[in-house]
Structure 1
Amino acid sequence: MQWTGLNDLREKYLSFFESKNHTRMASASLVPQGDKSLLLINSGMAPLKKFFLGQATPPNKRVTTCQKCIRTPDIESVGKTARHGTYFEMLGNFSFGDYFKTEAIEWAWEFLTKTLGIPAEKLWITIFESDDEAEQIWENHIGIPHDRIIRLGKKDNFWEHGSGPCGPCSEIHFDRGEAYGPFESFEQASDCDRVIEIWNLVFSQFDSDGEGHYAEMKNKNIDTGMGLERLACVMQGVDNIFEVDTVQNIMKHISSIAGIEYKKDAKKDVSLRVITDHIRSTTFMVGDGILPSNEGRGYVLRRLLRRAARHGRLLGVKRPFLTEVCDTVINENANAYPELAEKRDYIKKIIGVEEEAFAKTIDKGTELLNQFTEKLAAEGGKVLSGDDAFKLSDTYGFPIDLTEEICEEKGYTVDRDRFTELAKEQRARAKADHAAKAGSSWADNSIKVDAPATIFTGYTDFEAEDAEIQAIYKDGSEVETAVEGDNVVIVLDVTPFYAESGGQVGDTGMILNGANIASVDDTIKSEGHFLHIATIEQGSLSKGDKVIAQIEKERRMAVMRNHTTAHLLQHALRQVLGDHVHQAGQLVNDKACRFDFNHFSAMTDEEIAKVEEIVNAEIMAAFPVTMEEMPIEEARKLGAMALFGEKYGNTVRVVTAHNSIEFCGGTHISNTSQIGLFKIVSESSVAAGVRRIEAVTGLNVIGLLNDFKNTIIKSAKALKLANITELSEKCAAVAAESKEKDKKIESLTQQIANSKTAALFDNAKEIGGIKIVSARMDGTAPDALRKLGDSVKDKEEAIIALFAGTLGEKGTFYCVCTKEAVAKGANAGKIVREIAAITGGKGGGKPDGAMAGAGDIAKIDAAFAKFEDVVADAVK
């Protein structure tokens, strides 16, 4: 058994099964494609479920993969132990109705003992308690001694998940030797981690009804899984995944940054393991197009990033550092996952922005949490209230899991039930109108069509003259005939209608059979079938009818112009802003092109103008637009851009428009000149690190220009100008005049306020040697109140002044305390907070000056009535 690096192990495994006529498939994205049951890919077989369930045809009945996986149920344990992790790679070989137990067992044994040279005497076998067939193969065919084959029950050696395919397992275990403890029995050796499982062979041979009945399947399958990192532990003779070569190199980089050494301080080792694991996970997640957010897989990413950043601080690293470590993760994995190197700048940018944003959050949140725990300690409490935890989360963006983790370190728990209750109430308020929005009755694609997949001809044709109706659905149920007025879904054997996909809207048009007419309002796709959402406008249509399927040509042409424009736009954005720009979403319809992209600041006017210039130059150059299917590797060599997180087959469709080369299944024009014109209407923020451009093309640009012209003409008329060319000068003059008037009004208001203030001191009361004055000034803005208060703040006497101003429906309090008043115990922040509370308002500030909002302006006078009492309490 020779020491073998992790990267070499991966290649040896995949090459071995290629030699056994398996097709090597690239790892799927961590983002599940077409599988809503998973948040993230968590096993080697997860992306292949569609093949096991017969929903798709695999490239070969024999397949081998090394699949990226993320599992987070034990995230709190990561770092505390040396065996927990969130990111791992799963090696697997799969048979879809081809070979079965004999070959699976034989090849597993050959790979471990012959290819890797693991001594046979170090391996133990477990089987399902009633799987005599597996035992016979291991004992009689492979030659494993009977006493090294262990029978285990359903809990350990039978794989099933509800109803559907399931079956017994056979696991291969490795004995790590006496250094890990004695071998009194197999169970005892497993408990002390002397014997560890390295490979699980699942024999899917039954179809379970979920109620305890198991029918033998005609086509049996093989699904195996072996953790690459765990196998590397065996081959490298190390204790855990953090000591495997590629992972250890990442940890060494972190240790270098922090100036510490692994295994010298148990507490610091926890942080080293957390950062090492989490930066591996986050690098791969961002590489697959996941962005930090507050829900779903985006929240998983954000949580991992923040946890890593916090543990960096615990190690004394006060600056952002995760992007540096990200480089090492990419370098260690670039051979197997070249896309990481291709997206290096983008991945580092996303991680860097999130880490910097969290640095601001953690300082504020930690300070407040420390105040809460200090108060708990003083009161002898042990549970942080859910209200305090929610305040940290809602007001300061401090994640609840981090609050719990810090509290646990200090010996406290959190009232999670109360926190959850408050969080639910907040979500209910935020989504109050969501439930009222009625979505499309077909949006869930719940219709299951029992017919061959639809043939799409819409890349080249706008009409199918001899299509046949394969099925009609009304109210979710299949019907033979639909009549005038019925809202239906029609399935054809052949269609030119494009189904909504990739951000391109579905086609509209007509389905005709003589005088029988259905208008198609939308087209969507479900498991290979194109669903035409339609209304019978005239006559009737029946299953089996031969019809003409006719899309709305002008609308489709407008959609295609906008789709090709989206490609040109992405290329232009990358030229102007940088290679980190990638599509983060799009919507192309007949009205506009909406394009979301990764960028971290608002575009300048100059950048927007430059992008417009580049796209229009491409349009005017009349470049041909070509669409071609080709092997995916050939497409990659051409430099074709793929969508983040998208799963592609071995053959892809590539759309080329001059220098723009992209994977795309949508419809496009044949020449850039057909776009006509391009104009950006707006550029805005969608989410952290994601910007959105709205643009129009063709005749829609003319419409936009006409709207601009009409606005200019109306504005000129409003200003009584005879010549619109004078509009800009006139607007500047009006603005300057208005600004001058505002200054005069502000000056007069300030003079009036000052005169009122001077009069206040003539009859000022004294409390504890401090003069107190107050005044209400309706129609006064907060800035004017601040100036008024600041004029009092500079006086040498001991003075507390409270001013209130109203502007429309809003009210503001401003309290100031002179230096002498502060010396006598006055605090403007506390006073204004207590006064504002009487009106239902909030606020606060420094001891010498503080502002607060008034809740109910009708209660301002009542608040003033309490001013003297509040001051008296404050300066006792």
Structure 2
Amino acid sequence: VGNLPKPSIDTGMGLERIAAVMQGVTDNYDTDTFKALIAASGALTHTATDGANTASHRVIADHLRTAGFLIADGVLPASEGRGYVLRRIMRRAMRHAHILGAKQPLMHRLVPALVTEMGAAYPELSRARPLIEATLQQEETRFRQTLDKGLKLLDEATTGMTDGTLAGDVAFKLYDTYGFPYDLTEDALRERNIAVDREGFDTAMAEQKRAARAAWKGSGAKASDDIWFDIVEQTGGTEFLGYASDTGEGEVVALVKDGARVDHATTGDTVAIVVNQTPFYGESGGQVGDAGHISNDSGLRANVTETSKQLGRVFVHHAIVDAGEIKVGDPVKLQIDVARRAQIRANHSATHLLHEALRERLGTHVAQKGSLVAPDRLRFDFSQPVAMTPADIAQVEADVNAQVRGNGAVTTLLMTPDDAIAMGAMALFGEKYGDEVRVVSMGSTEDGTYSIELCGGTHVNALGDIGLFKVVGEGAVSSGIRRVEALTGEAARAYLTGRDDRLREAAAVLKSTPDEVPARVASLLEDRRRLERELADAKKALALGGGGSGEAAGLEQVGGVAFIGQVLNDFEAKGLRGAVDEAKQRLGSGIAVMVAINDGRASVAVGVTADLVASHNAVDLLKIAVATLGGQGGGGRPDMAQGGGPDGDKAAEAVAAVRAKVEAAGA
């Protein structure tokens, strides 16, 4: 470290201090911008802006400005990372609004004043004003419920206390059970000279983590996955940036190679990379994880083949280091495969449309039972007792494509699960949801929104981005569960083009036009069936006439009855019954035995005319033949029975065995 060429002092002369100097005031909060925001706060709360209220108004003005700029820059309230920082800033301002006696959400009503003061210099505030207002109102509405409950519980816990320390386990219960943050507990009690036992709070937090780890180990998860608990306890969860961005920058917080944590990885290594924030979606909810690459200015390039999510909080980039070296603590740049993500988005949004179309066509009993959202296809499992008809599939396709052509916007809101369900959002049965959920709405009908679902996945901005939807398969998964497989966009177009090409090829072979192919094929099939019937009749006539391949059918007297026994090579088994019936008609009174041999196996049929069934049972005679052929079973009626066996080379012996039985019965 060398000396500066011009030694100087950092005075911290930011915008506010320069404005204070230029405006001749000694307090940043007395500059024109802050004074306007503070005045707006006083007007809306109907309170004085000086005296005991000074601190509250200043907190509201300062935090309003910070929250507005963060939201305009794409940051939204969350439970991790920068989103959590934003939420804490917003909630501190909201608590001071509560202190001032505001009965309704205040912060979103101050946004016009913020835009008036700073929108000209920062036009992004004006562009993002609707989002800023909606986010602040939604967050404050939710937080007021938490705040009212938390302050009431806090008052009960500190009744009679004028100073001293609140037990850490009590503060943790407020946080864990009721969502009342530790810093707000500390802030609320500071005015009453009551401290909070931070050490006790941390102990309770550690105990909860220990219990969660023990419960996880008892769930049957792999012991090697225990490493992710260590990572999340030390570094926290990963903040997901991918709803708003395809790129990002982050810091490497952990590396895992061959199941163990390492400090670095080099060219050729396969490694799992964890960063503090990422635009890569981790596989969950049926949607596959993102692919892409991670790099830095030092020559690193790692190819990310897939991204998983561990413990619901840690995003893990499974990568191969193509060049350079990566170390824990390195700053990195992250870039997802944009084209691949676009295909996944289209398939995921199409899955939502498919779900609603199935419910409208088949009934509200339809519920999602599983899904796969991949870049090349989508799969959707749902409750349905019977197969879909071609008309059902056609209608579902038409409904989805109608919404796609409508090109409606896809919107996302954050809210509590109860509020989401109250507005009509579909939730998955048995799914566990946190305190906050994403509600994805898309499409339109005469009555309102077409589809509203709870979903943490990524989606298209407008339904027209899906392009085209085509069902390519429908079948059973298990009892009461059906599966639809479908394609969207370019994959659907390529599928339809391929089918059209094959149809044209078939038309060329048939010497017809594509439109004439169905009729031409039907005609050919009818011709084939006619020829098959004629061939079967010819084979039967040839066999019964003694001119076929096999042993000739000779009429003989056996045991005092007329008897025909014949072996037929390459004679279809389904024709045996008819052949035996014709032989019985020729005999008038007698017994016919015929054995057909195909591919080494034998089929046998025995017929007895009605006048002889009292003394010769066809089923009994059949069993003798089947046993000789190495088979089991077979059956029928006293006048007709059929069976078979694997030993076709013993067909003549089978006929002889039946002949011997008939002869013995007549002796």
- Same fold, TM exceeding 0.5? yes
Q: Does structure 1 retain, via aligned residues, the 8 Å contact 2:626–2:633?
A: yes
Which residue of structure 2 aligns with residue 647 of structure 1?
432
Query: Are 1:632 and 2:417 counterparts?
Result: yes
Which residue of structure 2 aligns with residue 595 of structure 1?
380
| Deviation (angstroms), 1:60 | 6.1
Which residue of structure 1 aligns with residue 636 of structure 2?
846
User: 1: distance between equivalents of 2:349 and 2:472?
Assistant: 17
User: 1: distance between equivalents of 2:435 and 2:573?
Assistant: 64
Q: Does structure 2 retain, via aligned residues, the 8 Å contact 1:678–1:698?
A: yes
| Deviation (angstroms), 1:791 | 3.0
Query: Are 1:750 and 2:545 counterparts?
Result: no
Q: Does structure 1 retain, via aligned residues, the 8 Å contact 2:242–2:278?
A: yes
Distance 1:220 1:716, change over 3 A: closer
Which residue of structure 2 aligns with residue 814 of structure 1?
605
User: 2: distance between equivalents of 1:838 and 1:662?
Assistant: 66
User: 1: distance between equivalents of 2:617 and 2:461?
Assistant: 76
Partner of residue 525 from structure 1, selected from 302, 309, 328 = 309
Which residue of structure 2 aligns with residue 733 of structure 1?
523
Which residue of structure 1 aligns with residue 328 of structure 2?
543
Amino acid at match of 1:709: D
Partner of residue 764 from structure 1, selected from 556, 559, 569 = 556
Q: Percent identity?
A: 35
Q: Does structure 2 retain, via aligned residues, the 8 Å contact 1:804–1:811?
A: yes
Query: Are 1:480 and 2:263 counterparts?
Result: yes
Q: Does structure 2 retain, via aligned residues, the 8 Å contact 1:842–1:855?
A: no
Distance 1:762 1:810, change over 3 A: closer
Q: Does structure 2 retain, via aligned residues, the 8 Å contact 1:795–1:818?
A: no
Amino acid at match of 2:280: F
Which residue of structure 1 aligns with residue 614 of structure 2?
823
| Deviation (angstroms), 1:854 | 2.8
Amino acid at match of 1:595: F
Query: Are 1:776 and 2:560 counterparts?
Result: no
CA RMSD of aligned residues (A): 3.7
Q: Does structure 2 retain, via aligned residues, the 8 Å contact 1:619–1:676?
A: yes
Query: Are 1:459 and 2:243 counterparts?
Result: yes
Distance 1:585 1:518, change over 3 A: same
Which residue of structure 2 aligns with residue 338 of structure 1?
none
| Deviation (angstroms), 1:650 | 3.2
| Deviation (angstroms), 1:554 | 0.7
User: 2: distance between equivalents of 1:488 and 1:574?
Assistant: 44
SS in 1 for 2:634: strand
Q: Does structure 2 retain, via aligned residues, the 8 Å contact 1:780–1:806?
A: yes
Distance 1:869 1:601, change over 3 A: farther
SS in 1 for 2:473: strand
Amino acid at match of 1:814: A
User: 2: distance between equivalents of 1:842 and 1:585?
Assistant: 45
Q: If the length of structure 2 is used for normalisation, what is the TM-score?
A: 0.61
User: 2: distance between equivalents of 1:832 and 1:838?
Assistant: 10
Q: Deviations over 1:188-236 (max 9, x none)?
A: xxxxxxxxxxxxxxxxxxxxxxxxxxxxx99699x9xxxxxxxxxxxxx
Please say which of residues 862-871 and 450-459 is displaced more in the overlay: 862-871
Which residue of structure 1 aligns with residue 276 of structure 2?
493
SS in 2 for 1:478: strand
| Deviation (angstroms), 1:460 | 1.8
User: 2: distance between equivalents of 1:453 and 1:511?
Assistant: 19
User: 1: distance between equivalents of 2:277 and 2:227?
Assistant: 18
**Residues 123-138 of structure 1 correspond to what in structure 2 (within 5 A)?**
none
Q: Deviations over 1:558-601 (max 9, x none)?
A: 11111111111111111111111111221111111111122122
SS in 2 for 1:685: strand
Distance 1:834 1:555, change over 3 A: farther
Partner of residue 508 from structure 1, selected from 281, 284, 291 = 291
User: 1: distance between equivalents of 2:223 and 2:495?
Assistant: 32
Amino acid at match of 1:519: N
Which residue of structure 1 aligns with residue 391 of structure 2?
606
User: 2: distance between equivalents of 1:58 and 1:549?
Assistant: 38
Amino acid at match of 1:735: L
User: 2: distance between equivalents of 1:606 and 1:761?
Assistant: 53
| Deviation (angstroms), 1:694 | 1.3
Which residue of structure 2 aligns with residue 656 of structure 1?
441
Which residue of structure 1 aligns with residue 491 of structure 2?
700
User: 2: distance between equivalents of 1:478 and 1:686?
Assistant: 40
User: 1: distance between equivalents of 2:206 and 2:407?
Assistant: 58
User: 2: distance between equivalents of 1:781 and 1:446?
Assistant: 64
Distance 1:862 1:59, change over 3 A: farther
SS in 2 for 1:764: strand
Which residue of structure 2 aligns with residue 251 of structure 1?
none
Q: Does structure 1 retain, via aligned residues, the 8 Å contact 2:425–2:439?
A: yes
| Deviation (angstroms), 1:839 | 4.3
Amino acid at match of 1:495: T
Q: Deviations over 1:478-525 (max 9, x none)?
A: 222222222222222212221222211111111212432221122222
| Deviation (angstroms), 1:675 | 0.6
User: 1: distance between equivalents of 2:404 and 2:208?
Assistant: 55
Which residue of structure 1 aligns with residue 348 of structure 2?
563
Partner of residue 477 from structure 2, selected from 686, 690, 710 = 686
Which residue of structure 2 aligns with residue 152 of structure 1?
none
| Deviation (angstroms), 1:555 | 0.8
How many corresponding residue pairs? Answer: 452
**Residues 313-332 of structure 1 correspond to what in structure 2 (within 5 A)?**
none
SS in 2 for 1:680: strand
User: 2: distance between equivalents of 1:699 and 1:504?
Assistant: 19
User: 1: distance between equivalents of 2:223 and 2:336?
Assistant: 21
Partner of residue 646 from structure 2, selected from 832, 845, 855 = 855
Which residue of structure 2 aligns with residue 448 of structure 1?
228
Query: Are 1:674 and 2:465 counterparts?
Result: yes
Which residue of structure 2 aligns with residue 623 of structure 1?
408
Q: If the length of structure 1 is used for normalisation, what is the TM-score?
A: 0.47
Structure 1 gaps, min length 5: 1-17, 23-56, 64-216, 224-440
| Deviation (angstroms), 1:696 | 0.9
